[in-house]
A and B are shown apart, each in its own frame.
Chain A
Amino acid sequence: MSDIAANVAAESAHAPSEPSWQARALARLEDGLAALTDRANPILVKETRQALKSRQFIVSFLVVLVGCWIVTLAGVAVIGPEIYFGAAGPEMLLAYYCVLAAPLAVIVPYSAYRSLAAEKEENTYDLLSITTLGSRQIVTGKLCSAAAQMFVYFSAVAPCIVFTLLLRGVDAMTVAALLVLAVAGSLALSMAALLVGTLSQVRYTQAVLSVALVMSLLGAFWGAVVIAYVCLFEEPIPFGDPETWLVSLLLLTLYVTTFGLFHAAASARIAFPSENRSTPLRWWMTVQQACFVAWFAGLVAYMAAMMAVQGFSLINDLSEMLMAVGVVGLLYWYVMGTLMTSEWPHLSRRVQRSLPQSTAGRMFLSLFNPGPGAGYLFAVSNFSMMCICSVAMLIALTTWYGGTWGSRQETSLYFFVISWGYLAGFLGAGRLLISLFRRFAFVPLAAGFLTHFILLLAGIGIPLVIYLMSPSSRYFNTYSLSQITNPMITLVTLVDDGPDAIDALTVSALTTAAGVVMLLLNARSVAAELHRQRTPAPIRVIEEDAEAQQEIRKPQSPWDEDEAAASAAVDP
Chain B
Amino acid sequence: MVLSPRRPAVQVDRLHRYFGTTKAVQDLSFEVYPGEVFGYIGPNGAGKTTSMRILATLDEPTYGDAMVDGFSVVDDPDRVRKRLGFMPDYFGAYQNVNVREYLDFFARAYGLSGMERTRAIDRVMEFTLLDRLALKPIDGLSKGMKQRLCLGRTMIHDPSVLILDEPAAGLDPRARIELREMIAAVAAAGKAVLISSHILTELAEICHRVGIIEQGQLLAVGTVDEISASAETISRVRVRVLGDPSGLRSWFAARGDVRDLEESEGRFTLTHEGGPEEQAALLRQIVSAGFAVIEFASKTKSLEDVFLHVTEGRVQ
Contact = CB atoms under 8 A, between A and B. Distances in A.
B114 A128 contact: no
Interface stretch (A62-70, A118-126, A400-408): A118-126
A436 interface: no
B110 to A, nearest CB: 5
B33 to A, nearest CB: 17
Given A348-B74, A349-B74, A124 B82 contact: no
Interface stretch (A46-54, A185-193, A226-234): A46-54
Interface in B107-122: 108-111, 113-114, 117
Nearest to A54: B96
Contact of A46 (B76, B105, B157): B105
A45 B58 CA distance: 24
B105 A130 contact: no
A133 B109 contact: yes
A273 B57 CA distance: 10
A46 B114 contact: no
Nearest to B53: A126
- Is chain B's interface secondary structure helix, strand, loop, or mixed overall? loop
A132 B82 CA distance: 6
Interface string B69-80: 111101111110
A45 B70 contact: no
B78 A46 contact: no
A129 interface: yes
Contact of B94 (A50, A134, A541): A50
B96 A45 contact: no
B90 interface: yes
A32 to B, nearest CB: 12
B82 A50 contact: no
A75 interface: no
B144 interface: no
Given A42-B108, A132-B82, A127 B74 contact: no
Nearest to A118: B95
Contacts of A54: 95-96
Contacts of B84: 130
> How many of chain B's residues touch chain A, expressed as a range?
35 or more
Contact of A124 (B77, B94, B110): B94
Nearest to A57: B96
A46 B106 CA distance: 9
Given A126-B58, A127-B106, A133-B109, A274 B74 contact: yes
B189 interface: no
Interface string A466-490: 0000000000000000000000000
A537 to B, nearest CB: 9
Among B75, B81, B109, which residue has the most Cβ atoms of chain A within 10 A?
Answer: B109
B153 interface: yes
A274 B81 contact: no
Interface string A107-147: 00000000000000011111111111110000000000000
A185 B114 CA distance: 35
Contact of A50 (B96, B104, B108): B96
B84 to A, nearest CB: 7
A538 interface: yes
B92 interface: yes
B56 interface: yes
B60 interface: yes
Contact of A272 (B77, B79, B105): B77
A130 B94 contact: no
Contact of B109 (A42, A50, A348, A540): A42
B109 A132 contact: yes
Nearest to B67: A540
A273 B109 contact: no
Contacts of A28: none
Interface string B96-137: 110001001110111101100100000000000000000000
A541 B106 contact: no
Contacts of B111: 132
B88 A541 contact: no
Contact of B114 (A38, A129, A133, A134): A38
B93 interface: yes
A198 B131 CA distance: 37
A273 B60 CA distance: 8
B101 A46 contact: yes
B113 A540 contact: no
Contact of A131 (B72, B104, B110): B110
B86 interface: yes
Contacts of B109: 42-43, 128, 131-133
Contacts of B104: 45
Contacts of B81: 130-132
Interface size class of A (residues with CB under 8 A): 35 or more
Given A127-B106, A130-B81, A274-B60, A50 B75 contact: no
A538 B71 CA distance: 8
A49 B114 contact: no
A5 interface: no
A528 interface: no
A524 interface: no
A267 B97 CA distance: 26
A348 B75 CA distance: 7
Nearest to A40: B108
A264 B314 CA distance: 45
Nearest to A49: B101
Nearest to B137: A53
B92 A538 contact: no
A40 B72 CA distance: 30
Contacts of B105: 42, 45-46
A467 B91 CA distance: 62
A350 interface: yes
Contacts of B95: 50, 54
A245 to B, nearest CB: 41
Contacts of B108: 38, 42, 45-46
A540 B58 CA distance: 22
Given A45-B105, A132-B78, A38 B113 contact: yes
B51 to A, nearest CB: 15
Contact of B97 (A38, A46, A133, A350): A46
Identify which of A53, A124, A131, A544 gathers the most chain B CB atoms within 10 Å of its CB.
Answer: A131
Given A54-B95, A350-B76, A130 B86 contact: yes
Contacts of A34: 114
A130 B78 CA distance: 8
B165 to A, nearest CB: 11
A35 B106 CA distance: 17
Nearest to B92: A124
Contact of A274 (B75, B113, B114): B75
A365 B99 CA distance: 48
A49 B105 CA distance: 10
Contacts of A350: 74-76
Nearest to B76: A541
Contacts of A125: 92
A538 B101 contact: no
A540 B71 contact: yes
Contacts of B75: 274, 348-350, 353, 538
Contacts of B69: 540
Contacts of A544: 71, 79
20 contacts: A38-B114, A45-B108, A46-B101, A49-B97, A54-B95, A124-B92, A124-B93, A127-B88, A127-B92, A127-B106, A128-B109, A130-B58, A131-B106, A131-B110, A132-B78, A132-B81, A132-B111, A274-B77, A538-B72, A541-B71
* In the complex, the 5 A-B pairs of residues with the closest C-beta atoms, listed nearest first: A42-B108, A124-B92, A131-B109, A540-B70, A53-B96
Given A42-B108, A53-B96, 7 more contacts: A34-B114, A49-B96, A49-B97, A129-B58, A130-B56, A350-B74, A538-B76
